[in-house]
Amino acid sequence: MRIADAHHPGNSDVFAALAQFVAEQARYGAARRLYERALALDSNAPTSAVDLAELELRNGDWPRGWSRYEGRLARTDRASNSVVSIMTRVAPRWTGQPLKGRTLLVYSEQGHGDDIQMVRLIPALTARVQAEGGRLVLACRRALRTLFARHYAPCIEIEARNYAEHGTPDYCLPMMSVPFMLRLKPEQGKRLAMAVVDARKDRHQSDVHHFRSGGHHFVRANTEARQP
C-alpha cells in the first residue's frame, strides 16, 4: 500500500485502503488519521466516511460517528430499485423539519440484525414525533413484521409498498439514521436497552399470567361441564 502511495501520491483510495488495513490490526488511532487524510483529499468519498464513522462508533465517539454515518446516504452509485432509492421517491428524507400534522415513515434499510438493534429506539423517536403533533409509521421487512407489530404500531410490510396504509407519508427516515436524529450517546443507548429488556420482561410475565389464568378457567369450565 505504501508503494502504491509512492506511485500515486495524494490518492484518496490508497489512504482509505491503508486505513482499513491498519484498523484490522486494531491500530485505531493510526487508522483514524489515515481515514481523515483520505477525506481531506476527497470529502465526497462516502465509503471512507462510513468506514471512519464505524471506527468512531466502535470507540464510543457516538456524536461524531452517527453524524458521519449519514454519509452513506450520499452514495451516487445506488441502484434505482434499492430501498433507499425507492423511499427517496416516496417522500423527502426527514432531517428535523416540524412534524405537526405530519406522518413520518421510518423504514428498514439494511439487514435484519440492524433492524432488531435499531427498533429499540423507535419508542423514543415516536415520543418525539408525537410531542410535535405528528405520527410515526414503521415499515419493516415481512420477516420481522410479526415480531415488531407486537410492540411497535402502526407497523407495515415494506415489501407491500402500501406506504399510505396509515396516511400518506410526508417524510421518510431510514432506520439506521434514528440514532443520529435522537443525538444518541452511549449511556443513553444502555438505558434504552435496559428499558426494552424490562418492558419485554413485564410483557412476558403478563403473558404467562394470562396463560395460567386462562388455563385455570379452562380446566374449571371443563370440570364443571362434566359434573352431573
Query: Which pLDDT value is given to residue 8?
Result: 57
Give the pLDDT confidence of 22-65 residue by residue, as tens digits: 888 889 899 899 989 988 888 888 889 999 999 999 888 999 99
Q: What mean pLDDT do residues 62-76 have?
A: 91
Just give the CATH number of 2-74.
1.25.40.10
- Please compute Rg for the chain using Cα positions: 23
The answer to whether the CB of 192 falls within 8 A of the CB of 185 is no
Could you tell me which residues come within 8 angstroms of residue 99 by beta carbon, excluding any fewer than 6 positions away?
Answer: 129, 132, 133, 134, 170, 171
Give the pLDDT confidence of 108-165 residue by residue, as tens digits: 999 999 999 999 999 999 999 999 999 999 999 999 999 999 888 799 999 888 888 8
State the helix-helix crossing angle for 46-58 and 28-41, rounded to 10 degrees.
Answer: 150
| pLDDT reading at 97 higher than 80 | yes
Query: Which pLDDT value is given to residue 217?
Result: 33
Query: Which pLDDT value is given to residue 3?
Result: 58
What cell numbers appear for 136 in the block? 410515526
Q: What mean pLDDT do residues 57-83 have?
A: 90
Query: Which pLDDT value is given to residue 174?
Result: 97
d(CA 171, CA 96): 10
Among 3-12, 26-35, 93-102, 182-191, name the one with the lowest average pLDDT.
3-12
Query: Which pLDDT value is given to residue 183?
Result: 93
Query: Which pLDDT value is given to residue 193?
Result: 52
Just give the CATH number of 83-181.
3.40.50
Give the pLDDT confidence of 183-206 residue by residue, as tens digits: 998 877 666 555 444 444 444 444
Give, for 173, the enclosing helix (H) or strand (E): strand 171-174
pTM: predicted TM-score of the whole model, two decimal places: 0.76
Is the model more confident about 165 or about 5?
Answer: 165
- Which runs of consecutive H residues, i.e. helices, occur in 78-185? 83-90, 112-118, 122-131, 142-149, 178-181
Q: What mean pLDDT do residues 9-20 have?
A: 82
| pLDDT reading at 4 higher than 60 | no
Query: Which pLDDT value is given to residue 14?
Result: 86
